[in-house]
Structure 1
């Protein structure tokens, strides 16, 4: 009976939005499974074999519920210890028990309730934003904005239900090719000095320059959606620009603004926004902070909005979806033809209905009907949903609104066969504070060593940094570290950084897996691998694991599972145990959660998927903790790429020397920074 009820919920979740009655059934079934398991364990009349059998049956139902929750994570809050069971839930529970031949226990009388005031959301307005509003107190009315939003009334399609046929047209009229609007040739599209747009990127930017203003950019990961969005905003003059993004890539967006539009000021919203620059051109905020900042964000006067990983808003009932849609509505009501971009490699996750929230974000539809330009295009077809050709015409009309989808295989000539893409992340909270304190302590010890050395030879440390002496100090620090004479050192610090990055790296890997399929995750330390696997389990992502303590049989079994089982989306690999001797080319995306000390070791990891049999360009996503020694090490590893080339086929003495060089130069760099950058150019640090 419980299995049948769980199956009913599973079917409902596959066709969202899920009704309240199905959520109630999910909660009740979970409660009954919990109670029944406790009853079976406590029933002394059952034999051990019977108890085991009943336990397996209950585990089967629990597994179904876990899969349902992985598909619809909002259901998990119904299982919290403090979750309330509604009157409808108690009634359903009693009904199910009676149907099973069990008389439900009497419910206790409900406690008298006391009226409480509604909770007021914690909303903030940063001081710099107030300063901007005072400097620009008036926002001129834009009558063109109202005209743009107008929907034709009384047309041929008045009275027809159009949204459902529009969604279904992507199933009925599918052509087998990616849905992509016609894009112009990339003329007069320029990138900042030292950077180059790939042809497929330049074509989207050219479309924005030609006047197109709404895009569902659904390129596969690795094709540069961030750069396209930023340069499209530049081409459209869509400033100030709002970027809404998952927390794990928030810092990366600020980094990319500096690379692609360096003339624009960017600010990242953290916490209550105490450090927000209210006069910035680009404001980056993560989904989780919208509840406290949505007020002033709606009033700032944005002329463009980019929503990254837009499939996050597919559940229109969630708070974050409501905030994002409210901001989009506010921008469209105040600005004629704003630039609106939804970025996602997977616009559809469960069902064609996943399009609904994204289309509404872009202003193509509302809750009931197509709007403005889309409605006009449908009227122009001369068809209605009852006509045979309507689906194909409707699908084309929606695609022309701005759907852009390119796969790696489609633009393989545009992109390098392999590339390393850095993903900066910011370490917040206690872990971040601990790492910054450790770096400060190490720097202080290095400075003390250096000053003592200068004084010992009768010099003055204030005269400027002696780079040769700094290198000797770094070498002495490494020697003492090796002999365990020091406490906090560069190795323990790097390990702490790896531990702090583990959850962020795993979270990004989970997003990649949902976008592109199979992903290889590399880490150096067991605790980082453990944390990543915990995140994948929580996300409902099936994974395999390759570690140094495994037998050959177990290792081969796990490799086979990743390569051959379509449900195994991620393989978690030890950088040292799996860096050589594996063929994992079934994936074309790899995440380096921790940095190696050498370019050769990094390359060996990438070569697990960039090898004979690989049919797609390979992207290695290197997760780097911003504003820590992690970023310095990444730069040093890259600078060693030429020197390490001779050791790419295997690590020998040359590779060990390269490792020691990176460690020493990282310490020298810390000394250079401590002395105000003196001699940095000469040091090459």
Structure 2
């Protein structure tokens, strides 16, 4: 592997992690979300570059785009250096890349992907198992396939912030992936015979773990562990972004929405050209143009969220649903968090329904509360009471427009933004439901964003503490007031601006 250069500095705890594991071939980084596991592994890859041919990064499917972006953010690598496995990847994939990123779920469902990964594995491959809790089930197909695959590689690292979600039983497969020599057991059955006690009447239910200190001592030389509160001198607010890609169905709808905008602009331009023979269009033209842009913004954002309301008549609409990776990305984020309460902010009621359904299916209906304008005040208060109860619901799924004001939720430290509003003030209000007097822990905000979409424009505007709508209004005004440009060219500039969304 050619030498790569990093473009960002390690934090002290990341350097400590590198110092501990750089001299061993297999290791585990048990680091909280937000402490920079990805950056730490990139440093290990940089140091091992002379001894490895490439990195095979296995992660949840919804994390693939985030990993790709993180590699480019922290190194001098270009998109040409990275290969991301897709639905049609097979053994004919290019063999000259520095980084290969593949979704762990693919190993359960696709023998083709497994064979493709096998085609690039050598003894000089550095295998990274990101979110290793995904292989905690010792008998799962993906666990067996990934473990067998990784045996060829000398260098292996697992990453997780939650290594033991169900207790010590989760440890075996993750350590076995690194090396059977770490725990000293060649099979799960010998491991369970020495460390697990099951319920006499409920097969598979672990009621007690034995010899835990022995296991802790066995893994200690190979594992670096840290929590956010232990290792980081950080601001109260922490920000993370989980990137996803649109599905083919969403991309098609996304481009169709932009084409419809151009069609509507053509009709508007034609109508005003006939009615107004002056050198410029009247203010009413620009007001209507702004309305079309706002309508487009809403359409594009709903599409990236997985649905779209399409006009079928003068007063009638059809709700179209699209295959989307966004909800699965949300679940992956939640699975990586500790068992704390979580607020999920959504912009649309259709998204509230999708999120609620997914969380209820995974965690149970009693764990999910809703807070939105479709409920009356009494219903919202009852839902809020359930969420605030110490042993009550874990998730509050709310719209920023309804829950972003007046609520005191400083007992919660995790917020996930399924979709943002267009205004920074709305975002700040939502953030400050937790970040307020009485909050004793760092608050983490996690944004779900689709690459190469309006999400990036919204994120850019919010980062600058501005409004996407205001930014576009200013741009429209600049085009309108340009005295050196004819009215036909002004419309072209407007269309070009929208094409970049």
* TM-score, L = length of structure 2: 0.75
Q: Which moved more, 1:660-669 or 1:345-354?
A: 660-669
1:434 aligns with 2:256: no
**In 1: Cα distance, 2:152 partner to 2:462 partner:** 46
Check whether the contact 2:183–2:219 (CA below 8 A) recurs between aligned residues: no
Structure 2 partner of 1:204: 17
Structure 1 partner of 2:230: 410
2:249 alignment partner, SS class = helix
2:152 alignment partner, SS class = helix
**In 1: Cα distance, 2:335 partner to 2:450 partner:** 19
Structure 2 CA distance for partners of 1:346 and 1:394, relative to 1, 3 Å: closer
**How far 1:252 moved relative to its partner?**
0.8
Structure 2 partner of 1:48: none
Structure 2 unaligned regions, length at least 5? 188-210, 307-323, 480-490
**How far 1:518 moved relative to its partner?**
1.7
**In 2: Cα distance, 1:630 partner to 1:297 partner:** 32
Check whether the contact 1:215–1:362 (CA below 8 A) recurs between aligned residues: yes
**In 2: Cα distance, 1:672 partner to 1:281 partner:** 40
1:632 aligns with 2:457: yes
1:576 alignment partner, SS class = helix
Structure 1 partner of 2:106: 289
**How far 1:228 moved relative to its partner?**
1.7
Check whether the contact 2:31–2:161 (CA below 8 A) recurs between aligned residues: yes
1:526 aligns with 2:317: no
1:224-239 alignment, distance < 5 Å: 224-237=36-49, 238-239=52-53
Say which of 138, 145, 163 aligns to 1:323.
145
Check whether the contact 1:502–1:532 (CA below 8 A) recurs between aligned residues: no
Structure 2 partner of 1:506: 330
Structure 2 CA distance for partners of 1:448 and 1:395, relative to 1, 3 Å: same
**In 1: Cα distance, 2:25 partner to 2:339 partner:** 27
1:554 aligns with 2:379: yes
**How far 1:673 moved relative to its partner?**
11
Check whether the contact 1:481–1:489 (CA below 8 A) recurs between aligned residues: yes
Structure 2 CA distance for partners of 1:419 and 1:663, relative to 1, 3 Å: farther
Check whether the contact 2:35–2:232 (CA below 8 A) recurs between aligned residues: no
| 1:277-323 alpha-carbon deviations (Å, 9 max, x no partner) | 54221111112323322123123135211112111111121111112
**In 1: Cα distance, 2:328 partner to 2:284 partner:** 36
Structure 2 partner of 1:660: 469
**How far 1:258 moved relative to its partner?**
0.9
Structure 1 partner of 2:77: 263
Check whether the contact 1:267–1:283 (CA below 8 A) recurs between aligned residues: yes
1:216 aligns with 2:28: yes
Alpha-carbon RMSD? 3.8
Length, aligned pairs only: 432
**In 1: Cα distance, 2:351 partner to 2:179 partner:** 42
**How far 1:502 moved relative to its partner?**
4.9
Structure 1 partner of 2:403: 578
The structure 1 segments of at least 4 consecutive aligned residues displaced by more than 4 Å after TM superposition are 274-277, 390-394, 443-459, 471-476, 665-678
**How far 1:590 moved relative to its partner?**
0.8
Q: Higher strand share goes to which structure?
A: 2
Structure 2 CA distance for partners of 1:295 and 1:501, relative to 1, 3 Å: closer
Check whether the contact 1:523–1:574 (CA below 8 A) recurs between aligned residues: yes
Structure 1 partner of 2:362: 539
1:424 aligns with 2:226: no
1:573 alignment partner, SS class = strand
1:477 aligns with 2:284: no
Structure 1 unaligned regions, length at least 5? 1-189, 372-389, 460-467, 483-487, 645-657
**In 1: Cα distance, 2:360 partner to 2:340 partner:** 16
Check whether the contact 1:523–1:575 (CA below 8 A) recurs between aligned residues: yes
**In 2: Cα distance, 1:448 partner to 1:422 partner:** 39
1:245 aligns with 2:59: yes
Say which of 359, 364, 383 aligns to 2:175.
359
**In 2: Cα distance, 1:349 partner to 1:661 partner:** 45
**How far 1:213 moved relative to its partner?**
3.1
1:621 alignment partner, SS class = strand
